[in-house]
């Protein structure tokens, strides 16, 4: 690639082309001559991680917590008073759900 680029650059410089235009034209010609060197081969590979089958849908027996209920539950779980499951079950019983 270097030899090719040097040859193109020398020819253009001898022809009186400005240094800026020489660089532009050399880059253009090198990309045309060696396209495989300017392409990421991993771009066409599929991602390593597959999407989830579960789209986050709620089951019929789920219970939607309010922000306050969620904060209380997190405090109870953090202090070891009860688990999330226990809190939600108690909350359901208390609300008649």
Q: Tell me the two tokens of residue 93.
A: 């019983």
CA torsion sign for 63, 67, 70, 72 is: negative
Instruction: Look at residue 82 in the predicted model and tell me its pLDDT.
Output: 87
Instruction: Look at residue 42 in the predicted model and tell me its pLDDT.
Output: 77
pTM, 2 dp: 0.44
pLDDT in tens, 22-78: 999 999 999 999 988 888 877 777 776 666 665 555 554 577 888 888 888 898 898
Cα angle, residue 64 at apex, residues 63 and 65 outer, rounded to 5°: 110
Instruction: Look at residue 17 in the predicted model and tell me its pLDDT.
Output: 92
């Amino acid at each position: 690639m270097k030899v090719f680029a040097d040859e193109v650059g020398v020819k253009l410089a001898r022809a009186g082309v400005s240094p800026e235009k020489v660089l532009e034209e050399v880059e253009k010609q090198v990309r045309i001559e060696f396209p495989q060197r300017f392409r990421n081969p991993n771009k066409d590979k599929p991602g390593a991680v597959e999407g989830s089958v579960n789209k986050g849908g709620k089951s019929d027996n789920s219970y939607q917590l309010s922000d306050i209920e969620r904060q209380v539950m997190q405090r109870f779980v953090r202090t070891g008073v009860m688990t999330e499951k226990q809190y939600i079950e108690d909350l359901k019983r208390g609300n008649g759900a």
